[in-house]
Amino acid sequence: MDQTNPAPWFNYPKNGDLCRLRLFCFPYAGGSALIYRGWLSNLPAGVAVWPVQLPGRGSRYKEPPYVSMPALVNVVAKAIEPFLDVPFAFFGHSMGAMMSFDLAHVVQERFQLQPKHLFVSGSGGPHLPRTTANIHDLPDDQFIRRLKELNGTPPEVFENPELMLMMMRTLRADFEIAETYPRFSGPPLDIPITAFGGQDDGLVAREDLEAWKVQTTSAFNSWILPGDHFFLHTSDTIVLRILSQQMRTILSEID
């Protein structure tokens, strides 16, 4: 399959003329477009939620996953271009936050377009050095043990050896993307950034979340929500309430 073809990349509702704002959503390591399956019904009318389906998972599980952020962002930029015909925003969690940030820069440089808002979640600033050890190249048993500690993989995956084997390649690839991410040293964006963090997140400290502030010359705000690194699921109602408020503001500005 040609991975530059837009068709497989976006799981989105066929809402026709109702779309006034596209919210592209990017998953965390090992995640799929299903992370955002319930969001459409919880955001204001006129907002179309377009989750990004990366190779190696879901309907694309037979495709080899990417192991480099620059390569992945490059191909997503090609796929996303035809769908930037209406105002748009980006949301990404953890690995997806870095991906959405890099994509915002690429879209600006290549197409002279900008997201109306960048929402980053569960991630420190892209310019900060890594402080945790890599796990993508660990032996299987150690890699699986670390995955369990991170608390982001459903227990049923570990209980099903065939499913675990099927997901191992994608999980390792995603962690390689996150762990080899080149620290950003370019100019800041000129769009609002909202950062979300978990109050019990052992991977992202409050000051690391606040570091996103230097990546924009526009407005910045941050929210610390109940939960660990995957507060996106346990505090989803709060995340969606905040997003809804922001979406209404954006919609009012593009009328």
**Is 94 marked active-site?**
yes
Q: Is the Cβ–Cβ distance between 32 and 108 less than 8 Å?
A: no
Candidate list 94, 100, 121, 123, residue with the active-site label: 94
CA proximity to 215, closest of 110, 122, 118 = 118
How do the residues of the chain divide into helix, strand and coil, expressed in percent and rounded to 5? 45, 15, 40
Measured CA to CA, the distance from residue 233 to residue 227 in angstroms comes to: 9
DSSP 8-state secondary structure symbol assigned to residue 189: B
Per DSSP, the three-state class of 220 is: strand
- What residue spans of the chain are helical by DSSP H? 69-80, 95-111, 140-150, 155-159, 161-179, 206-210, 231-234, 236-254
Other CB atoms within a 10 A radius of the CB of residue 43 amount to 18
- Positions marked catalytic: 94
